[in-house]
Chains A and B, each alone.
Chain A
């Protein structure tokens, strides 16, 4: 009889497609929106993700997230180096500067000034050029997205796409000459500004207005030392905020949740997707059951138990749930894949996200099955004798 249940479901093409479409749409909303949210959130701590070498981030106690920057004196680096358990500590400058393009237009860019000696904090992957070339005079490395988009040279021919920055091109940063020696792959920042890597001393040259230039002190715990314990020692010794990388990521996330509407806005869309999916699926599935109520009555008259009928309805619900979720997840995956080729936000669909959305879809179809099953289980088989 379970095969009969499937045949009955697939035979009513209109309702079957309606139910599957409703579930697919709900699945898309419940997967895609959280995916966008999670990806955007990951951009809030992209700096911490990309600079993976240090265990500990030392900063001004007023700093609220990795997008925040409150400068420290250069001497703070030495104070951190002097704390027990610290293997090394280097400065990192993070600031924002105006970049003048070849056509005279100005763009804001994030400047990262890396320790001159070690270049710690540099991009993980330099697609064109080498990281070591940053030591050359006026040298900068630009992130790939920035080089292709906002820092790209406008074509002289109208309608033509901009010409990406390449190695050898020059920029003007705060009226100082900069030469592009490399193009790097980096995680986009939350604001999607272009990222320009240079050395710490050159960053000082580009930014002559600020007296304090150290944004973060990056530190590494000695082998065998607990980074959290070392961080506590740094705080005690210097009065600065010292956090492990994970702690700093969490702090940045907490700031985003508390001070932006991202969670509420995206969460609202997810809830709407769930509610609409439930309503549409439940309504159409209920109508499908109503259309077949007479036949369920016939089955009852012919000896079908309530357990068998319930099993048939559950199977129908689970089948449409599986197909609808498969279509929704598949379409969302294709969409996410398409974002990887461009320069826009690149969506990632992790297993926990898919599992969570799958659980939500399961809940939707179980609710739909329950509503329909109630009607069938209460059905008097004598109804089949009514014409």
Chain B
């Protein structure tokens, strides 16, 4: 079992994500918009939590705060027992690079890099040697069923395959938390469900936490819990059978 560690390297056994009274606004004065209005949320190791809700309800803002990309205005958000907002910008960047993986709706694979190079990016950013990073990337690509295609460019892959490459990139550095923003919305139903199955089997194994923002009702069945959001608040959280 993976142990989560804090920034000093000490083991931490706790929910991966704990948010209490989280608020976040954009703009000021008359144009001020409250994107988050007091969010209480937790995500446990090995859990797949889906955030669902209409467009503009604050889902993307919430995962940005959870991932340490945006600062909250009020409340607390702890990752692995640590309040990331108290870190210096440099510490936060390093912490995010070490502990969080990302899967995006638009894949965001660099078109001029091979898929192995794309997958290796989190390792290279973390300071791994290039040959070691590419070796690890090749292994990860095998895990997602794309072994032997390391030197191909993303443009040579279908949408589903590109998302599998993105999943490999999100997992290659062994993060404790994987954050996904609409990972299946650019895919057809069959491909989307396959991608979700793969994501769940790979990501949630070994006690990783997975947070997925989605509109796609077809994949609700894969969630452990679904948090329904609207107007910056979590309206209800439903545990799936």
Contacts and interface: CB of A to CB of B under 8 A. Distances in A.
B111 A11 contact: yes
B96 A301 contact: yes
B112 A12 contact: yes
B69 A381 contact: yes
B7 interface: no
A382 B70 contact: yes
A1 B125 contact: yes
B96 A295 contact: no
A386 B60 CA distance: 8
Contacts of A386: 60
Interface in B53-80: 60, 63-64, 67, 69-70
A84 interface: no
Interface string B26-58: 000000000000000000000000000000000
B69 A298 contact: no
Interface string A298-312: 111111110010000
A385 B113 contact: no
Contacts, number: 78
A303 B94 contact: yes
A298 B125 contact: no
A349 interface: no
Nearest to B213: A385
Given A384-B104, A385-B60, A385-B104, A303 B110 contact: no
Contacts of A157: none
Nearest to A296: B110
Interface stretch (B116-124, B196-204, B218-226): B116-124
Contacts of A299: 121, 125
A303 B97 contact: yes
A237 interface: no
B122 A295 contact: no
A7 B113 CA distance: 7
Contacts of B182: 387
Interface in A156-191: none
Residue among B70, B93, B98 having the largest count of chain A Cβ atoms under 10 Å: B93
A387 B181 CA distance: 9
A387 B96 contact: no
A4 B117 contact: yes
Given A1-B124, A8-B112, A302 B97 contact: yes
A305 B93 contact: yes
Interface in A345-387: 380-382, 384-387
A304 B125 contact: yes
A81 interface: no
Contacts of B94: 303, 305
B121 A302 contact: yes
A366 B230 CA distance: 47
Given A301-B102, A382-B69, A3 B130 contact: yes
A292 to B, nearest CB: 8
B13 interface: no
27 contacts: A1-B124, A4-B110, A4-B121, A11-B112, A11-B113, A12-B112, A294-B108, A298-B110, A298-B121, A300-B93, A301-B69, A301-B96, A302-B97, A302-B121, A303-B93, A303-B94, A303-B122, A303-B125, A303-B126, A304-B125, A305-B90, A380-B69, A382-B64, A384-B104, A385-B60, A385-B63, A385-B104
Residue among A4, A295, A301, A382 having the largest count of chain B Cβ atoms under 10 Å: A301
B33 to A, nearest CB: 15
B106 interface: yes
B74 to A, nearest CB: 18
A382 B60 CA distance: 9
Interface of A: 1, 3-4, 7-8, 10-12, 292, 294-295, 298-305, 308, 380-382, 384-387
B105 interface: yes
Contacts of A302: 96-97, 102, 121-122, 125
A304 B93 contact: yes
A381 to B, nearest CB: 5
Contact of B117 (A7, A292, A308, A384): A7
Contacts of B121: 1, 4, 298-299, 302
A387 B106 CA distance: 6
Given A299-B125, A387-B182, 10 more contacts: A1-B121, A4-B124, A8-B110, A299-B121, A303-B93, A304-B93, A305-B93, A308-B125, A385-B104, A387-B185
Nearest to B67: A301
Nearest to B110: A295
A385 B70 CA distance: 12
Contacts of B102: 298, 301-302, 384
Contacts of A308: 125
A380 B71 CA distance: 11
A340 to B, nearest CB: 43
Interface string B124-137: 11100010000000
B71 to A, nearest CB: 11
A22 B41 CA distance: 54
A386 B182 CA distance: 10
User: 5 tightest A-B contacts by CB?
Assistant: A303-B97, A11-B112, A382-B64, A385-B60, A298-B108
B215 to A, nearest CB: 12
Contacts of B117: 4, 7
B140 to A, nearest CB: 14
Contacts of B122: 302-303
Contacts of B104: 298, 384-385
